[in-house]
Amino acid sequence: MRREPTDAERRLWAKLRNYGLGVRFVRQLPIGPYIADFACRAARLVVELDGQHGTSAAYDQRRDAYLASKGYRVLRLWNPEVLSNTEGVVEMIRLALIEQPSPASLRSAVLSRKRESG
């Protein structure tokens, strides 16, 4: 994955790397038997991009449950969402770092802001 990131991974990494949001994110972090696409260890936040792994919903649920059992919150995003609304996605991650709400409430807040503005 690290050698051939998707366009969405490249775009998001450009925003997250080098303390882009004021905290350190890493790519491809092993956590138990899984590898997180992006993770901020300090905030215990994992950002997963869906669309490149071809995994099932049941697999994703098991994976998210495992990561939660290790103290991580998982923010799951779609590749097309990253490509079409990069700044909205970055804002969603920023809110997750600051407010630490559930990922579902973040998605609703950011998407409703996007609809209102444009």
Q: What is the pLDDT of residue 108?
A: 59
Q: Report the side by side order of strands in the sheet with 34-40.
A: 26-31, 34-40, 45-50, 73-78
Q: Is the pLDDT of residue 106 over 70?
A: no
Mean pLDDT (the chain) is 85
Q: What's the burial of 34, exposed, middle or buried (CB within 10 Å: 0-12/13-18/19+)? A: middle
Q: What is the pLDDT of residue 59?
A: 87
Measure the CA angle with vertex 102, ends 11 and 78; round to 5°.
Answer: 30
pLDDT digits (tens, 9 = 90+) for 4-42: 888 999 999 999 999 999 999 999 999 999 999 999 999
- DSSP designation for 95: H
Structure token digits, residue 114:
């996007």
Task: Summarize the confidence of residues 61-66 as an average pLDDT.
Answer: 92
Strands (DSSP E) contained in 14-65 are 26-31, 34-40, 45-50
Q: Does domain 7-117 have CATH number 3.40.960.10?
A: yes
| Whole-structure pTM value | 0.79
Q: Is the pLDDT of residue 68 over 70?
A: yes
Cα 100 off chain centre by: 13
- State how beta strands 34-40 and 26-31 pair: antiparallel
Q: What is the pLDDT of residue 60?
A: 87
